[in-house]
Amino acid sequence: MFIAKVDPGYVEDLVQPVVVIGLGMVTEQWELPFHSHQKAELLFADTGLIELETENNLWIIPPQGAVWIPGGLIHRAKCSGNPRGFVAFIAQDSQPGLPATCCTMSVSPFLRALLERIAALPQDFQPEGVASRLTDVLLDEIIAAPQEWLNLPMPEDKRLRLLADRMLSSPEEKVTLEQWASRLNMSERNLSRLFAKETGYSINRWRRQMHVIKALPLLAQGHSVQTISEQLGYENAGAFVTMFRKATGTPPRRFMTERMKNVHSPLNVPAGGFYEYG
């Protein structure tokens, strides 16, 4: 498969309000440092799994999902599991109704086909005719795409951020609310109230969500459910599977399998090449 380097600065300078590029990887995993774009960005994972981090949130994009990154938002990304997909650079004011904040969304086969079709256009296409009509439909589909819940909001309070960072770095650690309150010199009631106010989750629910967020990249890399459950501190694989099913509606392996159902053919983007990471 041909992979061509594309300068993101060049893409941002194009007058076209929408530019879609095939996303190809030279390694099974890659990571980009914190950066931002003038244009909004839609990052779609056809295969593999993308992790996106902003100052106050972590996002997971499984196969057949996408993340919308508003223009100017500082973020960093990493990917695993032989990722392929598309990246679209979109002028934020291209069409009313585009998301104003970072969010993940599911991608229908039609939306995926639009991304692939537009990626095959020359990057300097004229803003009229077929190309213009295709990009208009693409924007409509982005606006209509159902949003997903695979994110982990991070608290802003320095004490609570310390707690959240510790749980992320040591997801297997079992610390009670009483112990955390003592460490942070807070009452249990105040700790619970403030954490829920800043994240929208109770501490226990946030921890379960964190375990799902931590588990998905490991699943994409092919780790066994037993290994993942051990790394996350569960007594056995059954307890982990029960938690995952309650959080997502499906067991871990089936979750990843079902996300791959719409992948029927390899990407075919001869005109624009591929945006290379890694």
pLDDT tens for 51-108 read 899 988 999 998 888 999 999 999 998 887 777 889 999 998 888 999 999 999 989 9
Query: Quick one: 159 and 46 in the same domain?
Result: no
Domains held by the chain: number:
2
Candidates 46, 52, 56, 54; CA nearest to 24 is: 46
Q: Distance between alpha carbon 231 and the CA centroid of its chain, in Å?
A: 22
Q: Which residue has the higher pLDDT, 91 or 273?
A: 91
HSE, CB side, 13 Å, CA atoms: give it for residue 86: 27
Q: Which residue has the higher pLDDT, 64 or 14?
A: 64
Query: Quick one: 138 and 168 in the same domain?
Result: no
Q: Where are the beta strands (DSSP E) in 28-74?
A: 30-35, 40-54, 57-61, 65-69
Q: Which whole number is the average pLDDT over 227-244?
A: 95
In a domain, 269, yes or no: no
Cα 255 to Cα 6: distance, rounded to the nearest angstrom: 33
Query: Quick one: 122 and 25 in the same domain?
Result: yes
Q: Determine what percent of the chain is predicted with pLDDT higher than 70.
A: 84
pTM score: 0.80
Question: pLDDT digits over 107-133, tens only?
Answer: 999 999 999 999 888 767 776 778 888
Query: Quick one: 100 and 162 in the same domain?
Result: no
Instruction: Tell me the backbone φ, ψ of residue 276, rounded to 5 degrees.
Output: -90, 130
Alpha helices by DSSP H, listed for 170-222, are 177-183, 188-199, 203-220
Residue pointed to by tokens 């190809």: 24
In a domain, 265, yes or no: no
The answer on pLDDT for 6 being more than 60 is no
Query: Quick one: 16 and 120 in the same domain?
Result: yes
In a domain, 50, yes or no: yes
Query: Quick one: 180 and 51 in the same domain?
Result: no
Last residue of a domain, one of 94, 128, 150: 150
Query: Quick one: 173 and 132 in the same domain?
Result: no
Last residue of a domain, one of 150, 176, 191: 150
In a domain, 264, yes or no: no
In a domain, 1, yes or no: no
Task: Taking the CA atoms of 98, 15, 3 and 118 in sequence, report the sign of the dihedral they define.
Answer: positive
Residue pointed to by tokens 């086969």: 109
Query: Quick one: 101 and 78 in the same domain?
Result: yes
What average pLDDT does the structure give for the chain?
A: 84
Cα 129 to Cα 278: distance, rounded to the nearest angstrom: 35
Question: Where in the sequence is the domain holding 128, given as residue range(s)?
Answer: 8-150
At 210 the pLDDT is: 95
Q: Which residue has the higher pLDDT, 262 or 70?
A: 70
At 16 the pLDDT is: 81
Query: Quick one: 15 and 138 in the same domain?
Result: yes
At 221 the pLDDT is: 83
Query: Quick one: 17 and 144 in the same domain?
Result: yes
In a domain, 271, yes or no: no
Indicate which CATH number applies to the domain containing 117: 2.60.120.280
In a domain, 249, yes or no: yes
At 272 the pLDDT is: 38
Query: Quick one: 43 and 99 in the same domain?
Result: yes
Query: DSSP assignment, residue 264?
Result: -
Query: Quick one: 130 and 159 in the same domain?
Result: no
At 78 the pLDDT is: 84
Answer whether 125's CB lies under 8 Å from 16's CB.
yes
Q: Which whole number is the average pLDDT over 144-157?
A: 92
Please compute Rg for the chain using Cα positions.
20
The answer on pLDDT for 25 being more than 60 is no
At 12 the pLDDT is: 67
Indicate which CATH number applies to the domain containing 251: 1.10.10.60
Structure tokens at 196: 């829920």
Last residue of a domain, one of 128, 150, 172: 150
Answer whether 62's CB lies under 8 Å from 35's CB.
no
At 1 the pLDDT is: 27
In a domain, 277, yes or no: no
